[in-house]
Amino acid sequence: MTTPTPAQAAPRPAPADRTTRRGASAPLRDTWIVMTRELRPVLRDPFSLVFSLVQPLVFLGLFGPLLAGSLGGEQVLGGNVWQWFVPAILVMTTLFGTATTGSNLLYEFQTGAHERMLVTPLSRSSLLVGRSLKEVLPLIGQALIVIVVMIPFGFRADVLGAALGLALLAVLGVGLGSLSYGLATAVRKQDWMFWVVHQTLIFPLMILSGMLLPLDSGPRWMQIAATANPLAYVVEAERALFAGDFSSPAILWGWVAALATAALGLALGVRLMNRSAD
Amino acid sequence: MIHARSLTKTFATGRAQPVQAVRGIDLDIAPGELVAVLGPNGAGKTTTMRMLTTLIPPTSGTATVAGYDVVGDSAEVRRRIGYVGQGNGGGHTQRARDELYTQALVYGLSRREARRRTDELLEVLGLRELAARKVSELSGGQRRRLDVAIGLVHAPRLLFLDEPSTGLDPHNRANLWQHIATMRSSHDMTIVLTTHYLDEADDMAERVIVVDHGRVIADDTPDALKSHLAGDRIGLTAPDAAAAARTAELVSHGPGAREVAVHGTVVTARVTDGPRALPGLLAAARESGIDIAAAHVDRPTLDDVFLALTGRSLREETAPKPAAELAPLPGKDA
């Protein structure tokens, strides 16, 4: 190649060949770049950040008293109603927060931002994994706020259990986020399908997890259907973890369900992402 | 820089017939060239570009870009090319500066280098004041400049521009081209662009590749294409309609005259060499007692080239033929 002539206003060319910089750590670095890119608008917009962090509290403040009232007081379901309800709200926040996240990617399909990323050396899988990992931060933030706000109302959290509970939420969030991105990738040419599938799935997933009302009072078929819902296991595990009931087998099943969701979501999402250019 | 052989792309469309978007393209582009790929909507321009940039694999044929195979070594190709697609590369919720910085990190620049390069490009592309704006808050022209800046972050030696100026007003188009020209001279870049603005291909490109129905139908400098394929258009204004009809008769017997037409009192025709043909025609008209009131010779446009090649006008696909030859062509590519 010839040496470029320097023009006054023009930038100097960057060093020509950067391949030497991209060693074995490239996929990790790529994932980190994608994740921080996704987080930047979240952190740069404090108003919507605060708003989204406070949202679960609104739901808790409106639905909690109704639940307590309909169950006949705060001391129900084997203890304070908040011990039963708050861990479930954390799972619900995770579900609603991460299940819609694919719409952001859908938008980038339309604008051309995703296409631009596909022509860069970023690994295809990092484009999915980086996005999915980004879900963890807002949802942990939301969970911490809910926990702190509910303590004056009588909610008690075991410290180790809460830490494990948050980690469990993070794993579930990565899984659900990946599935949402995978869905967005799959329906990118009929984008309205995203919301059809989303709306069709989200309420059965929510109600059949026993997060809002106990499934024990429901008909038998609902209880059977719930055994196929990974969220049901995670909700039970969160309740056991926040109560510090480490001997409960529900914790193990919750982790199995969350890890399986994450593994499925990532595998499916990466597969779809690899073919997302045409 | 680019060598493509028998490149084809067929899209399966479910129940309907498969679409053969590209039907066998051979292409050789040397380092430093500025090449415009010109053709009507659906000619296969964008599909070809998407194959060369590794976005989609060819159905058959081979292509090496920047020294690497687009299928076997797609990652190596991606490291060496810049690409500005038809859409906007900047994410709408992102700030202009953040997107440039991210792009620099993607290509392996250190954080310090990335910051420096980001500042440079913001400056050069006139985006410094807009650095903290969200992409969604930028105007169309500003967004397009950001797209180009993103494509240039790693100083690629080969830049693909897919309809870089579509949707921009003439002022913004000129502005964008000025930036691209500056970057090209300082970076020693090869540029391949698609466009359906005829005047843009004419003014900017040193080589024009005309594509139609998924094939290359012409490939030369704009001037050579015009002289060899189209010829000049002459116009003679007669004093009245009857004289015009007689003038048309004279013109049609002139050397190499074709497409003779009469519009009111004006006779137009295409001839191989307008300036040389005109004096003879004027003399012949005088001998026949016709006083020609006005005469003109127009150099052909690339649209005339396309017309000569295919019998169709590039313009009529998207708009009625405008009165002024330089009117921009509205519309979008498929």
Minimal Cα distance from B53: which residue of A?
A119
pTM, full prediction? 0.79
A55-to-A150, A202, A236, B147 alpha-carbon distances in Å: 14, 18, 23, 36
A116–B83 C-beta distance less than 8 A:
yes
> What are the φ and ψ backbone dihedral angles of B240, each rounded to 5 degrees?
-150, 175
CATH code 3.30.70.2470 region(s) in chain B: 232-299
Determine the structural domain holding residue A224 and report its residue range: 50-274
Three-class SS state of B318? coil
- A31 is a domain residue: no
Rounded to two decimals, the ipTM of the complex is: 0.78
> What are the φ and ψ backbone dihedral angles of A60, each rounded to 5 degrees?
-60, -45
Number of other residues whose CB lies within 10 A of the CB of residue A132: 29
Minimal Cα distance from A124: which residue of B?
B75
- A15 is a domain residue: no
Q: Is the pLDDT of residue B95 over 90?
A: yes
A2–B89 C-beta distance less than 8 A:
no
pLDDT of residue A113: 92
How does pLDDT run across B55-82, given as a tens digit for each residue?
Answer: 989 999 999 999 999 998 888 899 999 9
Q: Is the pLDDT of residue B313 over 80?
A: no
- A30 is a domain residue: no
In chain A, DSSP assigns E strands to 75-76, 79-80
Q: Per the structure, how many domains does chain A have?
A: 1
- Compute the average pLDDT of residues A40-63: 84
pLDDT of residue A24: 54
Fold observed for domain B2-226: Rossmann fold (3.40.50)
For chain B, the C-alpha Rg in angstroms (whole number) is: 24
pLDDT of residue A87: 92
A119–B88 C-beta distance less than 8 A:
no
Binned at pLDDT 50, 70 and 90, residue B103 comes out as very high
Smallest CA–CA separation between A41 and chain B, in Å? 6
CATH architecture of the domain with residue range B232-299? 2-Layer Sandwich (3.30)
Q: Is the pLDDT of residue A190 over 80?
A: yes
B109–A19 C-beta distance less than 8 A:
no
A197-to-A95, A113, A193, A254, B14 alpha-carbon distances in Å: 14, 24, 6, 25, 22
- Compute the average pLDDT of residues B129-157: 90
pLDDT of residue B118: 94
- A6 is a domain residue: no
**Window from A68-72, B49-53, B161-165 with minimum mean pLDDT:** A68-72
Binned at pLDDT 50, 70 and 90, residue A117 comes out as very high
- A21 is a domain residue: no
The residue written with tokens 């003879």 in the block is B280
The residue written with tokens 């292509």 in the block is B63
A92 closest CA partner among A198, A180, A174, A203: A203
How does pLDDT run across A158-169, given as a tens digit for each residue?
Answer: 999 999 999 999
CA angle B193, B198, B200 (to 5 degrees): 55
